Structure formats: C-alpha cells, structure tokens
Chains A and B, each alone.
Chain A
C-alpha cells in the first residue's frame, strides 16, 4: 500500500505545487502520469484532496487508467460540458491512442490523420452537420473549411483540458486522459446503459445537437 507523504491538509496546501495543480484541476484539466511530479503529488495527497474538494461540491476522480480530474457534482463549482467538436475529436484521438501505428510513433499522430479518421468514421456530411449545426444550406468548400477550423479549435480546447499536447507543425502527442472518451464502452454493459449510468453520476450530459450552440452552463463558485 502506498503511504501518503501528507498527513494534514495544511501540508498539502503549503506545498509549492498545490496552487498550480489546484488551478489546473478547477479549470477542468486532466492530470495524468505524464505530468510527472504533479501526478505524484495528487496521488500522494489524494485522500486529503478528495475531502477538500468535496466541500466545494466536487469529486476528485481517479480513473483506473492513471489520471485525475475534478467532477463538479454540486452547484458551488462552475462546470461546462465539452463541445460537439471536442467530443468528436476526443473520441477519434482515443481511438488513435489505442492503435498500434500510434504506438510505433511513440504516441504521436498528425492533425491530418485525425481529420481523415473522423471523416471516414462519422461521414463527411454528418461531420459537416455536427460542426455547422446552425446552417441548413452550405457551400461545400466553406463547410469543409469550417470543419477544419472547428477541429483545430477543439484540439486547442482538448489541450487545455490535458487530453493532448499540440507540438511542432501539426503533430499531436496523445495523452492518457483520452481514455475517458472510452469510458462508456469500457465495461461489459450495453454502451447505452453505461452511458445512462455516467449521466446519472453527473459525468456526462445528453443533449440534442441543437442545444450545443448554447453557451456552456456555468455555476458560480
């Protein structure tokens, strides 16, 4: 059994890493093993941090894949749900993370590969509809351009949440947190049942694509 380096919450808060990690978790960032000492810190202080964040109406989730994130379950902490672009790109990246070709490249893939894989799995028309929800008529060239822009925007969003690192050129380093996108299909249950369970736990929300345009809901601290 791993013995914690911290015995009191005060020690955790006094640690020089605490402010950075606290802000990152509150901003929705997923802290994984690649974060090195930050991950080790959260792991060490896990039990103390869990009770600390519970007072703010949040659960500190430790996924079995080896990453932490903060899940607001009450109203005290602000929250948002991912955008359609972030969900689509995130699932594609998770799929790529599981592929041997990505292992060969040491967990690095290209943005163009993501776009191609997404278009082939979802279908170009569906993708355009999902990422241009307000438009009924569209020019193909403009719509494709919009899709590329939305994907780039989604990647930036996923980077800020700790799912991926944007590297030089169009290279992307996939991170462990991406396995959260596979959470609904992890177990032996029917995916729909598993998803219902996740929605009930407050980890996910189900929405019609039209609602997607609305501003992310946000509660006060």
Chain B
C-alpha cells in the first residue's frame, strides 16, 4: 500500500518535472481569483462569461491600482496567464463561434480558500462547532441504541462518526492552527511596534496582549465545558458499540475521542505558553521600555561593549569553596597477581620414519655395478625401472654422481647419447667393470 502511494507520488513528481509545470502568480492575479470566487458565491454562479471576467478584473484594478492603464489588455494577459497555469478553464466548448464561459479550477479554488478562509478560532466559531458536534453525537447515540444490524451500525453510527463528527473536530483543529498563526502574528506585531515606536508603542502592545489573552481564556473555558460533555457522549456510544460487538464503531469512537483530547490539550498548552509570554512582555514593557523611554540604555550598553576590550572590567560574584568530603576509609583489597593455569609447554616427540629412498637407491646402484655392468646406460636400464617416472630425471643425476664417486668412469672424445628408460637420453660413460667397485 505504502509502496503504491510512493510510486504514485514519484510518477506525479516525474510528470511535473517533465512538463515543466510551475506557478507564478502576481498579486493582481491572486486578487482577481479572490474577486471571482466572491462573485461566484454571491451570485451563485457556476461559470463566468468572458465579459464578466473582464468586468471583475477591472474592478480589481480599480481597487488595487487605480492609476493603471490598458485595463482590457491587462485583463487579457491575466486571463491568459491563469489559463496557462490551469487556474481558469474554458468550459463552453464553443471555440471560435462565440465568447467563452470560464470556471475556476480546483487548484484556483484551493488557493483562494487558503487566503480567504477565516481559519482563526474565535469564541463564537468554537461554540458553534462544539454545539454542532454535540448535536451530531446525541443523534448518533440514539441511532446506536436503536441499531440492530451491521448495516444499520455502518450507516447510522460509523459513517457519521467518521465523516460528520470527524470533519467537525478537524474543523476545530484547523481553526486552532489558524489561531496559532494569529498569535505568531501578534508577537511579530509587538516586536515591530517596539522597533518602530518603542515608548509610544507600549499601550498598543498592551492592548494586543490583552486581546489575545482574553480570546484564549474564553476559548479555554468553552473547551473545558464542552469537551467534557462531548467525551461523555462518546463514551456512551463506545459502551453501546462494545455491548453490540461492533468493533468498527468502537474504533471510530476512540478515534474521535483522541481528536477531542488533542483539542483540549491544545487549549491548555496554548494558554500556558501565552501566559508566560504575556508575563515576559508585560514585565519588559514595565521594567525596560517605561524606564528607558529613549532607548538610551541600549545605546550606552552598546558603547560599553564596544570599548570593553580597551577598558576591561569584571563583575565579582560569590564562589564559596565546596565542602571537601573525605573519601570513606575502605580497606583496599590485595589484588591477586594475574596468573594462568600451569601447562606443559614441552611438545611430545613424534615418530617420523626417515626417508630411506636414497639409501635404497644407492644400494641398488652399488649392486648393479657389482654385477659388472660396463656402461652408464646399462646401469640406468636396470635401476630406472625401479624408480617412479616423475623422479627419474633427478635420480639419473644422483646415480651419475654416485658412479663418479665410487668408480672411475671414462668417456670417448665423442660421447654418444644413449636412450635410457623414462624418455631420457644420457651421455654414455664406460665403466671400469667390477674393478671400480671395490
């Protein structure tokens, strides 16, 4: 499931990049869209005739840029820009036959909604939403008590809990975020007011602080009162669902309860946070701004800091020595030396039979010589068949060396090459018969 969502998002990203889709809206374009949306809702229009578009654009220009010229041309350009960016679409299909009808796309409506919608939580909107929520929940509780079949539970309990109630709570949460943004704005405004007017801004800052504090406090009292009631009804519904064994309904109720808990927690934390901010700013206005109306202190402190390296001074602070706590008198244990268990390091001797091959070979050569063989090749003809073929070449050398050591071989000036077993050829020597071997 997650993989498919990721694939879809990658496809969208790839297509956006491939088609070079982007949004570039001038302030006048946004104003135009807002004006169109307003006109549509006021006059219950589903689409705009071309002439109406031009009129609305001119009205917008009158409001935001009264000195502007070539309004028709600018309107044409604005409509072209909006169509190119899929914010306005032609819906009549008449083509060249007559002027077209246009409607705002979902994208345009979304953008306008973002800028227009009053997302800020006020005491009135919160009361309205919580009352509507309670009314829905009472209805759902009644239906839950009457519901007999799974279909009835789905239709009259689970559905409304997920859609109607979920939307209402989400509406409160959305407005809470709006109020958060508003508080952020108030903080920014206080900073800007002090930056601009310092002492003259004290009253305005105080007013801003008080207004927000009152709003938050009212909201919190509404939340505390109504959410308690909402949670009680939700608990009733959950109990009925549990008795009927409807796990879907139970789950939906729990989800709504969690949302309501979140809403309540929001009220509490925001009031705490605002309270500490209120105290801080209030103190700042009283102790800093009122006592230093010309901001001379900041200026003098800045100079002091800039000159400090030339005329350093240091504040004195107390630094009482800490009480020295003596270490407890513990008997140190004698650590035993690191030892290893004793082991016999003498490796036992191992019997390895000696290599007797060389001795056997020498005895054999000696025996052959004693037989009176007359040449080296004759000796080799007898001895080599007794030796492995792979070792014969090396053995020939050793036999030759033995013959030289034990006898007196001689050779003709031209020494013939003679084939011996093992595809080896040797230079022929003539031996001194049995005489050479004593």
Contact = CB atoms under 8 A, between A and B. Distances in A.
Given A27-B320, A95-B301, A207 B309 contact: no
A78 B300 CA distance: 32
Given A95-B298, A106-B277, A185-B304, A81 B314 contact: yes
A206 B312 contact: yes
Nearest to B277: A106
Nearest to B317: A28
Contacts of A104: 187-188, 190-192
B300 A191 contact: yes
A208 B314 CA distance: 10
Given A95-B302, A191-B300, A122 B314 contact: no
Contact of A78 (B301, B308, B321): B321
Interface string A188-221: 0001100100110011111111001000101011
B316 A203 contact: yes
A88 interface: yes
A18 interface: no
Interface string A178-193: 0011101110000110
B306 A103 contact: no
A98 interface: yes
A65 B286 CA distance: 10
A220 B283 CA distance: 39
Contact of A205 (B287, B304, B313): B313
Interface in B186-218: 187-188, 190-195, 198
Contacts of A80: 316-317, 319
Contacts of A72: 316, 318
Contacts of B320: 26-27, 77-78, 221
A99 B298 contact: yes
Given A82-B317, A91-B308, A103-B194, A185 B301 contact: yes
Contacts of B351: none
A208 B312 contact: yes
B303 to A, nearest CB: 8
A109 interface: no
B202 to A, nearest CB: 12
Given A95-B298, A122-B305, A207-B314, 19 more contacts: A26-B318, A27-B318, A77-B320, A81-B314, A83-B314, A87-B314, A88-B308, A99-B298, A100-B191, A105-B187, A161-B317, A182-B304, A185-B304, A191-B303, A203-B315, A205-B316, A207-B312, A212-B312, A216-B319
23 contacts: A28-B317, A69-B318, A71-B318, A79-B316, A81-B315, A82-B314, A83-B314, A87-B313, A91-B305, A95-B301, A95-B302, A103-B281, A103-B284, A104-B188, A105-B187, A118-B305, A122-B306, A122-B308, A176-B283, A204-B316, A206-B312, A209-B309, A220-B321
